[in-house]
Structure 1
Amino acid sequence: MTNPTHSFHFVDYIIFAITLVVSLGIGIYYAISGGKQRTTSEYLVGNRRMAVLPVAISLMATFESSIMMLGTPAEVYVYGFQWFVGNFGWFCANMLAIKLVVPLIHPLKITSAYEYLELRFKSRHIRTVGTILGMLSYTLYMGIVLFGPAIALEALTGFPQWGSIVSVAVASVIYTAIGGIKAVIWTDVFQAAVMFAGFFAVLIEGTMAIGGVGRTWEIADQKGRLNMFNFDMDPTVRHTFWNLLVGNFIRGFGLIFNQSSIQRISATSNQRDAVKVMLFTAPAFFLSLTLAGIQGIIAYAYYDTLGCDPLASKQIQNPNQIIPYMVMDIFQKMSGMPGLWLASLFSASLSTLSSGLSSLSAIFWQDLVKPHVKPMSEKRATIIAKCSVVLFGGISVLVAFLIAMIGGTLVQITGSVLSAVGGPLTGLFMLGAFFPFANAKGGIVGAVAGLVFAVWISMGQMMTKGSVKNTRLPPAPVISCPGMNVSRSDFYTMNTTNEALYTAMWTATETTVTANPVSDLELTGISRLYMLSYQWFGTIGILTTIVVGLIVSFLTGPMKPEESDPRYLISFYDEIFCCLPLTIRKVLRCGYNFKREKVIRV
């Protein structure tokens, strides 16, 4: 960034520092209050007596990382608001989870999501497979979450990436390690408030700088940024109504089986409270994603009004820097406001990182240590869980450093791995919950097949460089940029290895666009799968896991009705198609018993 007015003031650093200090203070408070985190029950699930509102806010904040703060506006800035359609997929998935997943998970009183796999399939091996996939996914994800704000801080202030990565990691590790899930949840509440303060500051000031809400949407509409309904059935088109809706629904449903979600559902005292948590989270998450997307619209309208697109004019090299750049523009005469926004960005990163560390701590103790050691005191077990927080914090820092050294290409590769891991893992949970005849052998083989297939396609797409049909929109004008001598066509041919962080992180299977991509004609036969939109990769991983898992289960001897415990099953037909006649639903049950004992609420 070359604008001389882009600089931080002392008050900005003060506001940013306060955010870290308050987060640490909450951790210290819970380390010395209550039971002082001396038992694994208190440390990992808050003794299963956490209040609804803080748990709900924490769950929402867990998935509102720096990816959303930086990548979602960048996505909309470059490709338009069509992305918004995917929000409905997320929302519907959350609402469906209230009906299906909460009644399944909460009565089990589990700490680790992967305990369910052992209970359902009666196999420790399948639990280990799920644990490995989950830990790999979480560790990579946290490393990238650490890297995201480091890019922004370096671009804004020149602060070195390593300093940002280490400072955020250390703060998060300290308050998570000493305060446990209670500290994580209450710091999430504080950080969510800071996030929304930063959100609304940018929304309000940015809109005022453009000339009001009406003018903002008028510019966006005139320049094609509001075209949301592309009903093209071509699966190779990057974004369509169908792949956004279906792809995000599948991924959204998968997040319910995420360890952070399971941990918070289990932290509530009864099933009714768990349902309330999800009822709050679904619309709140929808709102926050929408606000992040609107920031992208405002950024485009703002630079269209100025007549100087910083990306097209190469004042910034990465679309993910567009919001930090705009923040420094609109708040250049308002000391403290850039610091507030930076605090909101780091709050988003801290909330995700601390939740991930808490989740990994629960997984490490419950799935890897406890089943393989002799019974030990609660104090010693809690110490092991706390030490694991430090361990995984260090690993996340190493991952972030690796990404910083390699650059954008590794960011996309890492994101591809996340997508490849997440799909089969979700498929494994769905195989167990929806198909009572699936056995452990089918689950293991299905998960491995789904992982291999998804990794092969996503990496193949990366290596063939760009067969997906992109829909990049024309940039804002550059005519008013000082000393500008870049043609509009340069915007399209510039290397975009650092694509929108939203794509690289949540799904990250879009091909890097280059000046000379491989043509569609060069991809023949099965290699044409590399042309698929990244939105379908999660679905492919899930379907592969389920289909292969069912085939292997039938070949090796499916679980018999008397072997299946209804406590670990979801009767999809009874819950969703309850209007069907009972005789038809009985046929669809295939002779299996789905009736659970009633849960006694306390």
Structure 2
Amino acid sequence: MVAEGNTFVVWDYLVFSIMLVISAVIGIYFACTGGGQNTSEEFLTGSRKMSAVPVAISLSASFMSAVTVLGSPVDVYRFGAVFCYFSIAYTLVILATGLVYLPVFYELGVTSTNEYLELRFNKLFRYIGTTLFMFQTILYTGIVIYAPALALNQVTGLHLWGAVVTTGIVCTFYCTLGGIKAVVWTDVFQIGIMFTGFLAVLIRGCIVCGGIESVWNTSYYGGRLNFNNFDLSPLRRHTFWTLAIGGTFTWTSLYAINQAQVQRYISCKSLRQAQLALALNLIGLLFILVCVLLCGLILYAKYVTCDPWTSGMISAADQLMPYLVMDIFQAYPGVPGLYVACAYSGTLSTVSSSINALAAVSLEDLVKPFFPNLTSRQLSYCSKGLSLFFGLLCIAMAVLASFMGDLLQAALSIFGIVGGPLLGLYTLGMLFPCANNVGSFIGIICGYVISIWVGVGGQVYRPTADITRPLPLSNLTCNVTMPTLPASTAERPALASSLYSISYLYVSMLGFLTVLVFGVIASFLTGGNARGSINPKLIRPICDYFCCCSDRLRKMMWCGVPHEDNPAESKEKAANGVWPVKTGGLEGMDNASFATDLDVTSGESMKQQITRF
């Protein structure tokens, strides 16, 4: 535990309280302006009039959750600076999102990303997407509420669950009052707090450790600068390949199709502004990554001969950063409060985004279809009521997060298991016009079977120590003997040493590829798609992204969907809701008969769905 006397003083509480008060005031301000959020469109998307800069900052703030503030530097401390290769993943994610997924969502004008699934396939897929998103988001939000509570409990002695409830209540308060505008502008304020907290640790940490050169040298001789880790084994937790490739699929599922992120893009006043917000956000992500890396190396340089965790000074690895803060800022009242405000700001930004997204999905996918006659004011009240409900639910889910152990890996594992196959379904719909309802349903089922099988298997049969063992830590100056964990004697199945031991970052890619492969194959085996029935706004065939593709190949990949070949004809057909079926095995099949494939939840044909646009 922290040495006696290393607790909050009045100045720390003051700094911390100011951050909370300003966050709440922003919510009150937007509740009292702009008509008081009287429509659901204003509440959920800001009437689609926001500019790129605040949206970009908001995207970075929601990414920089307490999991990042507390967990990522510890990952560098334990496993080394190979973590930096996430930068490649971030760059690829932004490119893929901005060029492939964002244009489709923005041009369709949807509020819920799951609306796309209904338009491309049918209502059943929309409900699948809604259910999975809600499960993933509520569980993840529980983690990011619980994470800063660890910091508060460690450095102040404040009751753990009192901190959890406080976090959730503040988020729910300004999110329910101010909607998406409060979320975005509160993020702008909070990211300033987060960067200030990080910079305070970096500056003071370098001074305490003898300068940045000393930190770098200590890290080098301690094996933390392991940039040359190009091990091809998919079983290794973090290598160049797992971080760059596996990380790309994991984070794409968050940036490209996750409602909490997409809702910020579609709130921009134009597609160009939305893409600019993504590009600016990349700068923020890379800056965050640099801060995380340097904090992790400072953590190692400070405790190179006396690890606080294995020596018993703290009870969990996620308490290392707050322990460092209380250690190096003993003589600086108020600064520990700033750091805890930094961690707390990460939680507020992420949780508020999640609550707003959950409210949007519930309203668009569950309320409006069953209560189509609600007025704008009634929908606005409903949006606020949903925000309040999900805020309270996320607080309750934080209890479950307390049993998840490693916060960073737990958070990314959730995105991998749930997000990978769902990303595969959206990609199947956008890039493969041949994908039909039956094939896509088979693909998503197979994807989740594989993801859950591997993900749960990896939790039940933990990878062996030779795969996940962290870099060496020392207790030379602590007069404490490093504990030796007994070897496991439990019987392990053959798959435990191979499939179940795969890096958690590859789980998302595995689910994604399973959906694509089985979805395309099953679509061909079941007769392909009713080619002429697809609205060209719903697809972006992969050939369009390669300039070397011939016209013949492009036409083949578009599967007969009218697009740039005859814009006038396409526009007329779109206006009339008619898409001619061209040559092929399905010639003569009408749109309505094909639209009944697997549409067990609605009598509405695909043609009627498309006509609504």
TM-score higher than 0.5: yes
Specify the alignment match of 1:260 in structure 2: 260
Does structure 1 conserve the Cα–Cα contact (< 8 Å) formed by 2:413 and 2:505? no
Residue equivalent to 2:508: 538
Sort the Cα spacing of 1:252 and 1:418 in 2 relative to 1 into closer, same or farther, 3 A: closer
**Alignment counterpart, residue 424 of structure 1, candidates 421, 445, 450:** 421
Q: Distance in 1 between matches of 2:444 and 2:131?
A: 11
2:477 is aligned to 480
- Is 234-243 or 62-71 further displaced after alignment? 234-243
1:233–1:410 CA distance, 2 compared to 1 (3 A): closer
The answer to whether the 8 A contact 1:465-1:518 is kept is: no
1:456 match: 453
Which residue of 542, 548, 570 maps to 1:579? 548
Q: Report Cα offsets for 1:273-311 as digits up to 9, x if no partner.
A: 11111110112112212311221111101122xx32212
Structure 1: distance between partners of 2:250 and 2:563: 26
Q: 1: distance between equivalents of 2:245 and 2:476?
A: 40
Paired letter, 2:37 = Q
Distance 1:71 1:409, change over 3 A: closer
Deviation at 1:356, TM superposition (A): 0.2
- Which residue of 1 is the match for residue 518 of structure 2? 548
What is the one-letter code of the residue matched to 2:426? F
Question: 1:592: how far off?
Answer: 4.2
Q: Per-residue displacement from partner, 1:242-263 (whole Å, max 9, x unpaired)?
A: 1211011112222221102211
The residue aligned with 2:337 is 339
User: 2:323 aligned to 318, 322, 325, which one?
Assistant: 325
Residue-by-residue CA offset, 1:3-24 (whole Å, 9 max, x unaligned):
1242111110111111111110
Residue 448 of structure 1, CA deviation: 2.5
What residue number does 1:516 align with?
487
Q: Report the CA distance shift for 1:295/1:595 in structure 2 as closer, same or farther (over 3 A).
A: farther
Tell me the amino acid that sits aligned with residue 537 of structure 2.
Answer: R
Residue 313 of structure 2 aligns to a residue whose secondary structure is coil
**CA separation in 1, counterparts of 2:244 and 2:183?**
31
Alignment of 1:138 onto 2:107: no
Correspondences of 1:90-105 after superposition (within 5 Å): 90-105=90-105
2:431 pairs with 1:434: yes
What residue identity is the alignment partner of 2:17? A
For residues 452 and 418 of structure 2, the distance between their equivalents in structure 1, rounded to whole angstroms, comes to 8
1:149 counterpart SS class: helix
**1:354 maps to which of 352, 355, 364:** 352
Letter of the structure 1 residue corresponding to residue 443 of structure 2: G
Whole-angstrom distance in 1 between the partners of 2:176 and 2:29: 12
The answer to whether the Cα contact below 8 Å between 2:43 and 2:178 also exists between their aligned partners in 1 is yes
Tell me the equivalent position of 1:398. Answer: 396
Q: Deviation of residue 439 (structure 1)?
A: 1.8
Q: Which residue number corresponds to residue 170 of structure 2?
A: 171
Distance 1:264 1:403 in 2: 26
For residue 498 of structure 2, what is the aligned residue in structure 1? Answer: 528
Residue 266 of structure 2 is aligned to residue 271 of structure 1: no
What is the distance in 2 between the residues matched to 1:300 and 1:90?
A: 25
Amino acid at match of 2:363: W
Residue identity matched to 1:168: T
| Pair 1:155 & 2:150 matched | no
In 1, Cα distance between equivalents of 2:563 and 2:228 = 40
The CA deviation string for residues 41-64 of structure 1, in whole angstroms up to 9 with x for no partner, is: 100000000122111111111111
What are structure 2's unaligned runs of at least 5 residues? Answer: 569-613
Aligned to 1:512: none
Conserved 8 A contact 2:139-2:397: yes
Which amino acid in structure 2 is aligned with residue 289 of structure 1?
L
Query: What is the rounded CA distance, in whole Å, between the counterparts of 1:277 and 1:518 in structure 2?
Result: 52
Distance between the aligned counterparts of 1:200 and 1:233, measured in 2? 35
1-structure distance, mates of 2:44, 2:152: 32
- Map 1:231-380 → 2, pairs under 5 A: 231-255=230-254, 256-304=256-304, 307-380=305-378
Equivalence for 2:608: none
The 2-side partners of 1:36 and 1:360 are apart by 21
Q: Give the aligned partner of residue 129 of structure 1.
A: 128
Helix, strand or coil: the match of 1:77?
helix
1:153 to 1:58, Cα distance in 2 relative to 1, 3 A: same
Q: Which moved more, 1:587-596 or 1:272-281?
A: 587-596
Q: For residue 161 of structure 1, report the CA deviation from its aligned partner.
A: 1.2
**Alignment-mate amino acid for residue 166 of structure 2:** S
Flag the structure with larger Rg.
2
